Amino acid sequence: MTETAPILEVLDLRTHFFTQDGVTRAVDGVSFSLAPGETLGIVGESGCGKSVTALSILRLLPPKLSRIVGGRVVFEGTDLLTLHEPAMREIRGNRIAMIFQEPMTSLNPVLTIGEQIAEAVRIHQGASRKEALARAVEMLKLVRIPDAERRVGDYPHQFSGGMRQRVMIAMALSCNPKLLLADEPTTALDVTVQKQILRLMLELKERIGSAVILITHDLGVIAETAKRVVVMYAGRVVEQAEVTALFDAPLHPYTRGLMASIPRLKHNRTRRLAEIPGIVPDLRTPIPGCAFAPRCPLATDRCREAAPSLDDHGGGHFAACWEAGRA
Amino acid sequence: MIAYIIRRLLATIPVMLLVAVIVFLLVHLAPGDPASVIAGDNATSDQIAAIRATLGLDRPLWEQFAIWIWRVLQGDLGQSLFWNRGVAELILQRAEPTVSLAITTLIFAVSIAIGLGVLAAWKAGSGIDRSVMGLAVAGFSVPVFVVGYLLVYLFAIELRWLPVQGYRPIAQGFWPWLERLILPSVALGLAYLALIARITRTTMLEILSEDYIRTAQAKGVATRPMLFRHALKNAAVPIVTVVGIGVALLISGVVITETVFNIPGIGRLVVDAITRRDYPIIQGVMLVFSAIYVLVNLAVDLSYTLFDPRVRY
Ligand SMILES: Nc1ncnc2c1ncn2[C@@H]1O[C@H](COP(=O)(O)OP(=O)(O)O)[C@@H](O)[C@H]1O
Ligand code: SF4
Ligand SMILES: [Mg+2]
């Protein structure tokens, strides 16, 4: 951890979905913090609340379906959850930007690439249409879109998936955000371009000096990019550590399961070596004990009765497991 | 694009021919005889037969059709049986009130319908949404003449805000022209408005849950540009399609509206023609209305390229 004040502190965040068949505790008491310029990884299987965590930070969740029922999101000293919508809008795309998982659907099909990049610049920097467009061209060059001056007038359907994600990165970084939320930015892309895009994003982040929350379901990606990592399961943080410490000695059985399932690209392009058996629990019914117990090889009666708390097991390595560290 | 337009226009020829056949048959097979109308109540059957012969009505139906369609293909809609005037000339004379009514109705209905539809979608599930949709259902199910008489009673007779009926050419001033078109436009446009509001709401609702809307919000885009710049432009294709299809509602409503509000337009021309069995006028007007409908919908298809860069002809 650095000495400086954190740029973002998420404290006991709880976000629930209210649907016809019950309340889903999608995020159920998540805490973590982030130093300026740091890259924090968030990993976990699909459905464990990673996207909802990121969307809660920017308050972009569907208001009719969901509500942030508790916690604080302190960004540069201000609790974002207390801000009015106009103040929140000044932060979105300006101080905090976001990149989404689906490049094919995340860009507006009827607006040009240039218009879409320029928009944030116009909104937040009061730039004229012309200045903003010049900035868009500059950003396209930065994300290495060839022939940027011409392509700025193209529409999304004229771009490939990888190119669109470059555009998303250009858009997100156009106002030099202090924090970038990257929600599985490469998951939907071809394996061959995944690495390029990730590297580009991290290189530009370094240049701009943004902190990044990199969300992924692939621990392999985290190993190469992040400094610290938060492991999520069923809406909660189950382990949190420096990347090296986590890979050297994972404490939570779930983390160990994720590690076993990292695809070994050298041997096999797509097949996972070992998925964790069982499925993510239904978050609509409160789980009395450890949410991982039904799938955990080490589970005991205690695990099923009482939920373990997230405790420091030394040197800032946190885990929420009664049997933490037992092989 | 040009090739596409030409292909589409060529494709309308068989459609228009079919329309011509149906219109002709409808008009000629309906009971009633123009010759006896012309001859008057006290005419003998010989007199009537003589008139029939001069008008060519004694010839076999297919022959009458062949003569008529041959002229139409040469751009001649024929002569009125009662006035010594060409059908085209009569239609043109009556065009201004009808075109005026069509334009004001279109502007009124489309702008309000889109505003209401967007509002309803944005506030989906709320009281505003339910009242807009309730209004849409009502607007679609109440007949034009009922709305017309209600409007006249309330705004013209009771409140005296607007004239009861009639038409003033625009050459006599904008306001006198407009003030007589307000109530007819509302009466005629209500069903059309309801139709467009509903499609706008449905389409917008779908689009507001698209990923790119969330992207826009993540950029800090405010509600209004989010709705109108990011969402509505994506909703344009289905909306414009319904605007085009709904022109059929306007065409069928214009006859009743012009009657209720005593507007001397093409609708009234055709009503008078029907009571007198003035076949060429009825046929001519119906053909012109059909052609307008076909052309409007061609224009609608072409307009897709303005709204969606992925559409190319
Ligand atoms: N729009 C939604 N409606 C209802 N429930 C949702 C919605 N989005 C997410 N959830 C719930 O929140 C949980 C976490 O979702 P999410 O954060 O998207 O997972 P992930 O970790 O894959 O990003 C899901 O399991 C689901 O139950
Ligand atoms: S608390 Fe028990 S069930 Fe949960 S992960 Fe640890 S050992 Fe497994
Ligand atoms: Mg997700």
Per-residue pLDDT tens digits for B243-259: 999 999 999 999 999 99
Q: Please say whether the structural domain A8-233 has been given the CATH code 3.40.50.300.
A: yes
Angstrom distance (rounded) from CA B79 to CA A135: 67
CATH label of the domain that carries residue B188: 1.10.3720.10
**CB < 8 Å to A94, chain B:** 220
pLDDT at A34: 96
Q: Read off the tokens for A1.
A: 């951890």
Angstrom distance (rounded) from CA A168 to CA A140: 10
Establish whether residue A298 lines the binding site of ligand 2, counting it when its CB lies within 6 angstroms of any ligand atom: yes
Distance of CA B93 to CAs A110, B178, B265, B267, B300, Å?
43, 19, 8, 12, 27
pLDDT at A199: 92
Q: Is A191 helix (H, G, I), strand (E, B) or coil?
A: helix
pLDDT at A2: 46
- Nearest chain A residue to B306 by CA: give it: A110
Residue B69 lies in a domain: no
pLDDT at A264: 58
Q: What is the mean pLDDT of each run of 10 residues along chain B (313 residues)?
A: 90 91 91 85 87 88 93 91 91 96 96 97 94 92 92 94 93 95 96 96 97 97 96 96 94 94 95 92 94 94 93 87
Q: How many domains does chain B have?
A: 1
Residue B213 lies in a domain: yes
pLDDT at B43: 85
Q: Read off the tokens for B62.
A: 């297919």
Average pLDDT over residues A18-28: 92
Nearest CA to ligand 2 atom 6: A321
Residue A266 has pLDDT above 90, yes or no: no
A236: β partners? A233
Average pLDDT over residues A61-86: 95
**CB < 8 Å to A97, chain B:** 218-219
**CB < 8 Å to A105, chain B:** 210-212
Angstrom distance (rounded) from CA A257 to CA A221: 16
Per-residue pLDDT tens digits for B140-182: 899 999 999 999 999 999 999 999 999 999 999 999 999 999 9
Say how many Å lie between the CA of residue A107 and the centre of ligand 1.
Answer: 21
Per-residue pLDDT tens digits for A157-213: 999 999 999 999 999 999 999 999 999 999 988 888 998 999 999 999 999 999 999
Angstrom distance (rounded) from CA B307 to CA A33: 44
The alpha carbon of residue B233 is apart from the nearest alpha carbon of chain A, in Å, by 7
pLDDT at B199: 97
Residue A68 pLDDT level (bands cut at 50, 70, 90): very high
pLDDT at B149: 93
Residue A268 has pLDDT above 80, yes or no: no
* Cβ atoms of residues A269 and A255 within 8 Å: no
B123, B209, B219: which to substitute to probe chain A, counting the most A Cβ within 10 Å?
A: B219
Q: Does the distance separating the beta carbons of A93 and B218 come in below 8 Å?
A: yes
Average pLDDT over residues A302-308: 94
Residues near ligand 1 (Cβ within 6 A): A 17, 19, 24, 26, 44, 46-52, 62, 65, 283
* Residue B135 C-alpha from the chain's centroid: 21
Ligand closest to the CA atom of residue A26: 1
A75: β partners? A8, A78
Residue A40 pLDDT level (bands cut at 50, 70, 90): very high
A110, A113, A117, A187: which to substitute to probe chain B, counting the most B Cβ within 10 Å?
A: A110
Residue A45 pLDDT level (bands cut at 50, 70, 90): very high
Angstrom distance (rounded) from CA B145 to CA B151: 10
Q: Read off the tokens for A153.
A: 């007038």
Question: What DSSP character marks residue B79?
Answer: B
Task: Name, in order, each residue with C-beta under 8 angstroms of B58's C-beta and a sequence gap of 6 or more.
Answer: B49, B52
Where along chain A do its domains lie?
8-233
pLDDT at A1: 47
Q: Does the distance separating the beta carbons of A98 and B307 come in below 8 Å?
A: no
Say how many Å lie between the CA of residue A18 and the centre of ligand 1.
Answer: 11
* Residue from A290, A301, A304, A309 whose mutation best tests the ligand 2 pocket (most atoms within 8 A of CB): A290
Dihedral sign from CA coordinates of A248, A251, A256, A259: negative
Q: Does the distance separating the beta carbons of B221 and A119 come in below 8 Å?
A: yes
Residue contacts between A and B (CB atoms, under 8 Å): 75
Out of B211, B218, B307, the one facing A110 most closely (by C-beta) is B307
Show the domain range for B169: 95-307
Residue B116 lies in a domain: yes
